[in-house]
Amino acid sequence: QVQLVESGGGLVQAGGSLRLSCAASGRTFSNYAMGWFRQAPGKEREFVAAINRSGGATYYVDSVKGRFTISRDNAKNTVYLQMNSLKPEDTAIHYCAASPLGAGSRSTTDYNYWGQGTQVTVSS
């Protein structure tokens, strides 16, 4: 089992930045690819970013490319999402997730473990 806890969400003005963190425990963190997803009110959960086990490959949804950066520190069992140039449409609950297959994926079905989420609100 893997337990994931997100932090770093909050309220920020449009154009501002936030860094989300996801701390993992329970199993060897480096064996898992990690992903970030988000869900806005009334909408389906959406893929945001993913990173492979070593951190050498990253993937993003088109709407955040150039603004968001996913990274990981395997020594600290933590994955991060640096969010710059935030827009009101980024407002959502953000979830981190772990995939035992070790490769990044856009699909929720490839992730076995999920955190409880952290709220990101971007004001105009």
Confidence of residue 8 (pLDDT cuts 50, 70, 90): very high
26 pLDDT above the threshold of 90? no
Reduce the secondary structure of 2-66 to three states and give it as a string.
CEEEEECCEEEECCCCEEEEEEEECCCHHHCEEEEEEECCCCCCEEEEEECCCCCCEEECHHHCC
Mean of per-residue pLDDT scores for the chain = 95
Using alpha carbons only, give the angle 119, 77, 84 rounded to the nearest 5 degrees.
40
pLDDT in tens, 49-99: 999 999 999 999 999 999 999 999 999 999 999 999 999 999 999 999 999
Alpha-carbon distance of 58 to 51, in angstroms, equals 4
